[in-house]
Structure 1
Amino acid sequence: MTDKRLKISGNSLIGVFARCTEKVVLVPHEVAESDRLTMEAALKAEAVQMQLSGASVLGSLIAANSSGFVVSHHAGDKDLEILRQHGRAARLPARINAAGNVMLVNDSAALVHPGLSAKACETIEKTLGVPVEKGTIPWEWRAASPIRVFWFIRVLPRRR
């Protein structure tokens, strides 16, 4: 397979519009079929076209790992029904609710916005099946890979 540049809604920042796990890549309806098929082949994951409460910015509104999905509290029942075909799904019970923007998750841990409530953290732990730590990413690491961030929260001692 050769490399191919993709755009969603004319934007090359596809992480704003798509969310991927090992099994599924969530993409908005406006993604062309050829691009959807390219994503499926490259990621070896089923592409599911959807919107979340009518919005196309799925990457910003959904946090996910191989166990499930945590979504904006604006998500409708039909949105959750679609996601539950691929894992657990829950709405983030928080005023801060762009789940994909306020959480960095994988199958080992979650680093979440420090302003999230205990109830929100409990929902994340239950839905994604990982321990949750509140914190921020140091400025110089923000462009770094999530692997470094997870090394940071799993290896370095907790400061109190």
Structure 2
Amino acid sequence: MAVTRIKFKGTSSIGVFIMATDSYAIVPPDTPGKIIRAIRENLEVDVVKSLIGESRLVGVLSAGNPKGLLVPYYTLDEELDALKKYLGVKVSRVPGKMTAIGNLVLANEKACLISPELGDDAATVIEETLD
């Protein structure tokens, strides 16, 4: 496995701004080409530029797997539609007051672990989206 060091806009906290699965990555629209190339070449995934809820904090606000993507309830319709179009996976808003989805959900294609702070409605949406 190759290991490459990158910074995003001068910070080493790359997981705050970038979200990746085994088949895609999401980055803010202002991501430099050098970073996009590093993601494409090293992770071998498609890279989509998007805001989530008008925020650049894509890694904090989203979680997913190759089958689906979870975003907070306040994600704009335009953002949701674009993500569905470009990713080709299920994209769902997670209901409830907890919105840092990337901090509350751990998922791969086999299973998903969620924070107990997420309610039953959120758990149902998560299961239906990532399965």
Greater mean alpha carbon deviation, residues 120-129 or residues 108-117: 108-117
Instruction: Say if 1:94 and 1:120, in contact at 8 Å, map to a contact too.
Output: yes
Tell me which of the two structures has the higher relative contact order, counting C-alpha pairs closer than 8 angstroms and 6 or more residues apart: 2
Cα distance between partner residues in 2 of 1:94 and 1:63? 15
Cα distance between partner residues in 2 of 1:52 and 1:44? 23
Instruction: Say if 1:71 and 1:99, in contact at 8 Å, map to a contact too.
Output: yes
Larger Rg: 1
Residue 154 of structure 1 corresponds to none
Ranges in structure 2 where 5+ consecutive residues have no aligned partner: none
Q: Which amino acid aligns with 2:115?
A: H
Q: Residues 116 and 54 from structure 1, CA distance in 2 versus in 1: closer, same or farther, beyond 3 angstroms?
A: same
Cα distance between partner residues in 2 of 1:115 and 1:35? 34
Residue 106 of structure 2 corresponds to 104
Q: Which amino acid aligns with 2:67?
A: S
Partner SS for 2:34: helix
The C-alpha deviation readout for 1:77-105, integer Å capped at 9, x for no partner, is: 11111221220011010111211111111
Residue 23 of structure 2 corresponds to 23
Moved over 4 A (4+): none
Partner SS for 2:5: coil
Ranges in structure 1 where 5+ consecutive residues have no aligned partner: 130-160
Choose the corresponding residue for 2:116, options 114, 121, 126.
114
Partner SS for 2:75: coil
Instruction: Say if 2:50 and 2:83, in contact at 8 Å, map to a contact too.
Output: no
The C-alpha deviation readout for 1:48-91, integer Å capped at 9, x for no partner, is: 11111221111110010011101011101111112212200110
- Equivalenced residues, count: 128
Instruction: Say if 1:8 and 1:30, in contact at 8 Å, map to a contact too.
Output: no
The C-alpha deviation readout for 1:14-53, integer Å capped at 9, x for no partner, is: 1111111122110112211121111100010111111112
State whether structure 2 residue 1 is matched by structure 1 residue 8: no
Identity within the alignment, %: 30
Deviation at 1:118? 0.8
Q: Which amino acid aligns with 1:51?
A: L
Residue 95 of structure 2 corresponds to 93
